[in-house]
Amino acid sequence: MRKIEMVDLKLQYQKIKTDIDLGIQEVLDSAAFIGGKPIKDFATELQNYLGVKHVIPCANGTDALQIAMMALDLQPGDEVICPSFTYFATVEVVALLKLTPVFIDVNPQTFNIEASEVEKAISPKTKAIVPVHLYGQCAEMEPLLALGRKHNIPVIEDNAQGIGGEYFFADGRKQKTGGMGLIGTTSFFPSKNLGCYGDGGAITTNDDALAEKLIMIANHGQRVRYYHDMIGVNSRLDTIQAAILRVKLKQLDHYIDARRSAAAYYDRAFANHKKITTPFRATNSKHVFHQYTLVVSEKRNELVEFLKEKNIPAMIYYPVTCHQQKAFHGKGKVVGDMKNTLWLSERVVSLPMHTELDEEQLRFITDAVLEFSQ
């Protein structure tokens, strides 16, 4: 049996090596390492894939969030509602810009924030709502967008874990994640569903004026070179990474299918288990399984150790909730009792999830989990 990895990028690369190597070689030959055609081509191809008007590539997913928040012209002390049950970066940029993160609880089934909890946290200072499509599960967008419209508060989708996911509106409309809020942000970190071979990210929007502003902010606040209209940042996607992403974008749907069939295998193995809850399957969205995350009723840390001894990696995303992070001490507001967030952080465990898992590996992993959880 091949060694089980949390994410197997080596074997995935072997299968697309010819196209990747060619794409990189073309950039090397052109010596256009910053900007150029591969960046434009990738942005256009991702626009078409996501069904959004504008894709603005940038240096990473954290920058994408920061640039998105900068474009909203928020003032220090303005509040941004976000989950506490997410990766640190979602909230880090809020604090970095001297805005106040307002932490709310998540739904224990979907692991995502919901309109009902958001509404309780809205104040006159609320200037943005940030749902995170955690683990590849699309947040319940229709009520969130309706709430945003009602209070005139923009919704920013943190789509770093959700790219390729889809949401089905009540009227039958389908939309890919990242294209529903005023702004979407994503990451091309290597282990993400659409990952490059270094750092990368992108911002998405359907708003033309906002797109222009986002482009300027990502490029030192300039529209014309050396004429700076505002304070921005330097956040670019490398040309080599764009060439890699062009190849990998063509594979994204195939990669999502591979993740979904590994998830289906796990689901079957753990179905109706008394101590194990498998990921919730919403009927109105498509889960892209950035992570396959179980909720186990007991001995979660012992399970991780048990698997480790069998050379099966398993991870806890995330061991410390955001509102409990030392970095946010005194910087954020917590609304509600965070019951679900705290409960989940003690019970979640993510199993190996990637595009190259074969049946032998899946059987080995599920057998081990079942052996421990008898």
Helix (H) or strand (E) holding 208: helix 208-218
Let me know: does 266 contact 292? Beta carbons within 8 Å. Answer: yes
Q: Which residue's CB is nearer to ligand PLP, number 8 or number 158?
A: 158
DSSP summary character for residue 170: T
Binds ligand PLP (CB under 6 A): choice among 84, 107, 112, 187: 187
Give min distance, CB of 289 to ligand PLP, in A.
14
CA–CA distance, 212 with 85 (Å, rounded to integer): 32
Residue 126 interacts with ligand PLP (CB under 6 A): yes or no = no
* Residue (of 220, 223, 188, 225) closest to 203 by Cα position: 188
DSSP summary character for residue 126: E
Write the interaction track for ligand PLP spanning residues 188-207; mark x where CB under 6 A is met and - where it is not: -x---------x-x------
Residue 177 interacts with ligand PLP (CB under 6 A): yes or no = no
CB closest to ligand PLP, residue no: 61
Residue 293 interacts with ligand PLP (CB under 6 A): yes or no = no
Cross-strand pairs, 131: none
**Helix, strand, coil shares, percent, the chain, to 5:** 40, 15, 40
Q: What angle in degrees, to the nearest 10, is found between the helix axes of 37-50 and 9-30?
A: 140
Binds ligand PLP (CB under 6 A): choice among 160, 258, 307, 365: 160
**Binding to ligand PLP (CB under 6 A): which residues in 18-77?**
60-62
- Which residue in the block uniquely carries the two structure tokens 């049950």? 85
Residue 84 interacts with ligand PLP (CB under 6 A): yes or no = no
Residue 353 interacts with ligand PLP (CB under 6 A): yes or no = no
In three-state secondary structure terms, 127 is strand
Q: Which residue's CB is nearer to ligand PLP, number 235 or number 373?
A: 235
Binds ligand PLP (CB under 6 A): choice among 107, 110, 112, 161: 161
* Residue (of 112, 130, 116, 49) closest to 332 by Cα position: 130
**Binding to ligand PLP (CB under 6 A): which residues in 85-104?**
86-87, 89-90
Q: Which residue's CB is nearer to ligand PLP, number 232 or number 362?
A: 232
Residue 178 interacts with ligand PLP (CB under 6 A): yes or no = no
User: For ligand PLP, how many residues bind (rule: CB under 6 A)?
Assistant: 15
Binds ligand PLP (CB under 6 A): choice among 8, 79, 157, 158: 158
CA–CA distance, 46 with 290 (Å, rounded to integer): 18
Cβ partners under 8 Å of residue 96, min gap 6: 66
List interacting residues with ligand PLP (CB under 6 A): 60-62, 86-87, 89-90, 132, 158, 160-161, 187, 189, 199, 201
